A and B are shown apart, each in its own frame.
Chain A
Amino acid sequence: MNRFENFKAGLIKDNPVFSLYLGICSTLAITTTVNNAIGMGAAVIMVLIMSNVIISAIRKIVPDEIRIPVYIVIIATLVKIIQMLIEAYAPALNTSLGVFIPLIVVNCIILGRAEAFASKHGIADSALDGLGMGLGYTLAVVAMSFIREVLATGVLNIVNPFNEAQVWINVTLIPEAYTIPLFNSPVGAFVTFAFLAAVIGAYKKHADEKAAKAEEVK
């Protein structure tokens, strides 16, 4: 697999959320607004790239027996640093994401990619894998939160994370009488998740069949 294929895999085919089913807990909790989803996605991308790079850089000197504790120490440190930065420079985001920032530590995407990819590949490949998987996660949570926010409130509202008074986008897409508040609750998260996972699953099946057919023709 060449580098670009590798990077692209994380976006749709091996999307960490809808295809590998990793890190679903945070996905269900933070996708109430697009704003939260973008903030969370950015935090995950940063942690994922940095943890992949560091773990790939030290992969030859880490003794095999204690690799998991070492990875966890590194990931926890990075998450804590990101959390402090968010608390300092985007306090509004910190309030709305709350406990889910520290919980990135136990997000299986991060440890999963460290174990499955970064510990076996070079630094550049690992960074690219981190970016691809991080973008895949962001894409997934933004898609989910878009559906949930618009169906539940009828309004799409995006503000500057560093200055909440600065509103970037605020459009009403559905009149208030036709909104479905259910989508703001965890039930709505599960329903949205199931639909999107089914769509990605159908796309993957379609792609696989096409590839099989091409194989037969040869």
Chain B
Amino acid sequence: MNKIVHLTLFLAIVSAIAGGALAFANQLTAPVIALNNERAEKQVLLEMYPSANVDDFKIMDVTTDNPTVNKIYSYEDNYIFNMSVSGYKDGTTFLVAINKDDLTVSAFKAISNGDTKGIGSKITESAFADSVVGKDAAGQIDTISGATVTSTPVVEGIHQAADIAAGLE
């Protein structure tokens, strides 16, 4: 009986010390790890602004009930929306930067195309990005003829981003 108590106590003490050491290490590293993850997440924004520094992008602390919005960032005079929409299928993700003052589209970058290659992937081509940039984000934006199913939700996404941006301070 005594033996069992001794063994149990010994293992319990060893585990408690181990737990304490882990808690201490976690306390030390958790903030650094969180920062790393945040930076990894922002890495994709560099595709849109190659000359920027990852730390220049600020994550906006807003929750929207719009499921297409993944994340909203603020950079200089722009709100950058990371959105995922679905055409035929899920998996179309794009970034759109909207100017804070006049709500025009200041930059657009499609990260991935979830639909047919060669058709849906037209949204990733620079012709579409060029046609979108400078337009009023809430106004008329042309979809791509021949890739309507993919580009329509993207344009709708930009309109929704404009709505949200208008409500942000």
Chain A residues proximal to chain B, CB less than 8 Å: 61-63, 65-66, 69-70, 73-74, 76-77, 80-81, 84-85, 87-89, 91
B29 at the interface (CB under 8 A from A): yes
Contacts of B1 in A (CB 8 A): none
Q: How far is the CA of A65 from the CA of B3 in the complex (A)?
A: 10
Asked if B10 and A84 make an inter-chain contact with CB atoms under 8 angstroms apart, the answer reads no
Asked if B18 and A91 make an inter-chain contact with CB atoms under 8 angstroms apart, the answer reads no
Chain B 25-36 against A: per-residue CB contact (8 Å), 1 yes, 0 no? 110110011001
Given A87-B33, A87-B36, A88-B32, the answer on whether A81 and B10 have CB atoms closer than 8 Å is no
Contacts of B10 in A (CB 8 A): 61-63, 66, 70
B21 at the interface (CB under 8 A from A): yes
B residues 9-23 near A (Cβ < 8 Å) are 10-11, 14-15, 18, 21-22
B6 at the interface (CB under 8 A from A): yes
Q: How far is the CA of A2 from the CA of B67 in the complex (A)?
A: 68
Asked if B18 and A88 make an inter-chain contact with CB atoms under 8 angstroms apart, the answer reads no
Given A74-B18, A77-B22, A81-B22, the answer on whether A66 and B33 have CB atoms closer than 8 Å is no
B7 at the interface (CB under 8 A from A): yes
Q: How far is the CA of A84 from the CA of B22 in the complex (A)?
A: 9
Q: How far is the CA of A69 from the CA of B29 in the complex (A)?
A: 27
Q: How far is the CA of A76 from the CA of B21 in the complex (A)?
A: 11
Contact of B15 among A61, A73, A84, A85 (CB under 8 A): A73
Contacts of A80 in B (CB 8 A): 22, 25
A38 smallest CB distance to B (angstroms): 20
Given A63-B6, A66-B10, A70-B14, the answer on whether A85 and B22 have CB atoms closer than 8 Å is no
Number of chain B residues whose Cβ lies closer than 8 Å to a Cβ of chain A: 17
A45 smallest CB distance to B (angstroms): 18
Contacts of B7 in A (CB 8 A): 63, 65-66
A88 smallest CB distance to B (angstroms): 4
Chain B 88-110 against A: per-residue CB contact (8 Å), 1 yes, 0 no? 00000000000000000000000
B residues 54-91 near A (Cβ < 8 Å) are none
A-B pairs with lowest CB-CB distance, top 8 = A88-B32, A77-B18, A88-B29, A84-B29, A81-B25, A91-B36, A88-B33, A66-B7
Asked if B36 and A88 make an inter-chain contact with CB atoms under 8 angstroms apart, the answer reads yes
B40 at the interface (CB under 8 A from A): yes
Contacts of A84 in B (CB 8 A): 25-26, 28-29, 33
Contact of B32 among A65, A69, A74, A89 (CB under 8 A): A89
Contact of B29 among A73, A74, A87 (CB under 8 A): A87
